[in-house]
């Protein structure tokens, strides 16, 4: 039987991580994510896991990469300033293809910014923060229940595709409390990484089969192999031959394209005759969805799309929206319109992108988004 529980967003992440099978958590306290590591520090020993209090965020991500190399599911939790410190090793994890999960609750920046106030200004950082081009999956919950469900999804995706996964939340969702349905454990699908390598004498760690995913047995299990952040061939040994560089970079990045349909998730309210779409994510999707429903009641032709997976960005789904509507409104808690600019790039002029930005540390309201929809609707009517 499913259970109804009143739960905070950060608590949902911690509880779901335990269900997903996390065994090693390393972290450094930082608002607004600290409750995640506080809860896990208390509960991990009872399931045979370990929490390690680290001296900083660089050490925290280093520990969970090491734990993953030993075959353990591993997590760290942070916010913008700490996530900034993790960038080099985030790229390393992607290069050596070791699965880790990072929970980051966004807050006002830049620098120390405002620790207890929300923002949505780390979108580009989650993809492009580390140097070079490397794969990572980023998912954005918008409810406490999704914080629970998508934490399990994050671990499943990390283990399945041997890639870092970021759960990107924000201060609102981190500290919000909602009644959620906690599913029975035996009803959940829990994915563990492959562990079916060929015999040691035939084994090459990065020689992949038709799946494109390497099989990396846990260190200490009898298989000896090299992992390195340098460009490497099938044997894991550094190799800077041009053909090897090309093959290595293409392979680690293309595996997410290969599994786009399995990875990318969106929520949509589709309407056949829509002239306007609202695209929103994270906690801002909540008032945006409410505003769309209110606008529909006022007989405005509007629809809604929410990227649940932020990276890989749902380009196919957003283009389909742009083919149906004339304008796409993108409300965001940032100044520069990080996702609005991305949408504009993706749709290549098929619709007009309208930015609505708020950077005061206050949430965007239903009324503010509804007003924007109504103004766009009035403008479209005048233009007909």
107 and 139, same domain (yes or no): yes
CATH number at residue 273: 3.40.50.920
Task: Return the pLDDT at 171.
Answer: 98
State the residue range of the domain holding 356.
267-383
Same domain, residue pair 286 and 350: yes
Distance of CA 4 to the CA centre of its chain: 26
Q: Is residue 356 part of a domain?
A: yes
This prediction's pTM: 0.97
> Coil, helix or strand for 334?
coil
Same domain, 217 and 341: no
Residue 311 pLDDT? 98
My answer on whether 17 and 82 are in the same domain is yes
The answer to whether residues 146 and 35 belong to one domain is yes
Both 174 and 275 in one domain: the answer is no
Last residue of a domain, one of 220, 238, 261: 261
Look at residue 150 and tell me if it is in a domain. Answer: yes
Angle, CA 175 vertex, CA 169 and CA 179 arms, to 5°: 100
Quick one: pLDDT at residue 25?
98
3-state DSSP: the chain helix, strand, coil percent, rounded to 5? 45, 20, 40
189-234, pLDDT tens digit by residue? 999 999 999 999 999 999 999 999 999 999 999 999 999 999 999 9
Q: How many CB atoms lie within 10 A of CB 168?
A: 25
Write the CATH number for 9: 3.40.50.970
Predicted local confidence at residue 1, as pLDDT = 53
Q: Are residues 40 and 139 in the same domain?
A: yes
**Residue 40, in any domain of the structure:** yes
Look at residue 383 in the predicted model and tell me its pLDDT: 83
Q: What is the pLDDT of residue 248?
A: 97
- What's phi and psi for 59, nearest 5 deg? -65, -35
The two structure tokens encoding residue 311: 């990276």
**Tens digits of residue pLDDT in 258-276:** 999 999 999 999 998 899 9
Burial 55-88 (b: 16+ CB within 10 A, else e): eebbbbbbbbbebbbebbbbbbbbbbbbbbbbbe
Residue 275 lies in a domain: yes
Run of H or E including 40: helix 34-43
Task: Identify whether residues 97 and 234 lie together within a single domain.
Answer: no
Can you give the pLDDT at residue 34?
A: 98
Considering the domain boundaries, does residue 195 fall inside one? no
Percent with pLDDT over 70 in the chain:
99
Residue 254 lies in a domain: yes
Give the integer Cα–Cα distance in Å for 118 and 176. Answer: 12
Q: Which residues of the chain have pLDDT under 70?
A: 1-2
Has residue 192 been placed in a domain? no
Q: Is residue 193 domain-resident?
A: no
Total domains in the chain come to 3
């Amino acid at each position: 039987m499913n259970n109804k529980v009143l739960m905070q967003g950060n608590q949902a992440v911690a509880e779901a991580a335990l269900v997903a099978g996390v065994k090693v958590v390393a972290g450094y306290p930082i608002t607004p994510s600290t409750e995640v590591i506080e809860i896990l520090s208390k509960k991990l020993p009872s399931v045979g896991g370990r929490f390690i209090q680290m001296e900083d965020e660089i050490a925290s991500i280093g520990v969970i990469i090491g734990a993953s190399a030993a075959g353990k599911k591993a997590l760290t939790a942070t916010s913008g300033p700490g996530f900034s410190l993790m960038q080099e090793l985030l790229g390393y994890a992607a290069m050596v293809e070791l699965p880790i999960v990072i929970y980051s609750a966004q807050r006002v920046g830049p620098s120390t910014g405002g620790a207890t106030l929300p923002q949505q200004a780390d979108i580009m950082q989650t993809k492009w923060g580390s140097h070079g081009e490397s794969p990572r999956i980023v998912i954005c919950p918008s409810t406490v229940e999704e914080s629970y469900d998508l934490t399990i999804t994050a671990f499943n995706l990390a283990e399945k595709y041997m890639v870092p996964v970021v759960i990107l939340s924000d201060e609102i969702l981190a500290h919000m409390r909602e009644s959620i349905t906690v599913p029975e454990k035996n009803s959940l699908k829990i994915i563990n990484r492959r562990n079916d390598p060929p015999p040691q004498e035939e084994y090459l760690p990065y020689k992949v089969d038709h799946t494109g995913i390497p099989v990396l047995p846990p260190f200490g299990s009898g298989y000896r192999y090299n992992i390195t952040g340098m460009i490497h061939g099938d044997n894991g040994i550094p190799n800077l031959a041009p053909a090897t560089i090309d093959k290595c970079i293409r392979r680690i990045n293309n595996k997410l394209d290969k599994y786009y349909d399995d990875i990318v998730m969106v929520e949509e309210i589709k309407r056949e005759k829509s002239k306007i779409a609202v695209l929103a994510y994270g906690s801002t999707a909540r008032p945006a969805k409410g505003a769309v429903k209110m606008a529909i009641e006022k007989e405005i032709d509007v629809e809604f799309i929410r990227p649940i997976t932020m990276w890989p960005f749902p380009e196919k789904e957003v283009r389909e929206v742009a083919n149906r509507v004339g304008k796409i409104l993108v409300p965001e808690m940032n100044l520069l319109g990080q996702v609005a600019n991305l949408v504009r790039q993706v749709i290549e002029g098929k619709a007009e992108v309208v930015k609505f930005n708020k950077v005061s540390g206050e949430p965007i309201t239903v009324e503010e988004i509804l007003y924007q929809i109504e103004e766009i609707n009035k403008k479209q009517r005048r233009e007909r």
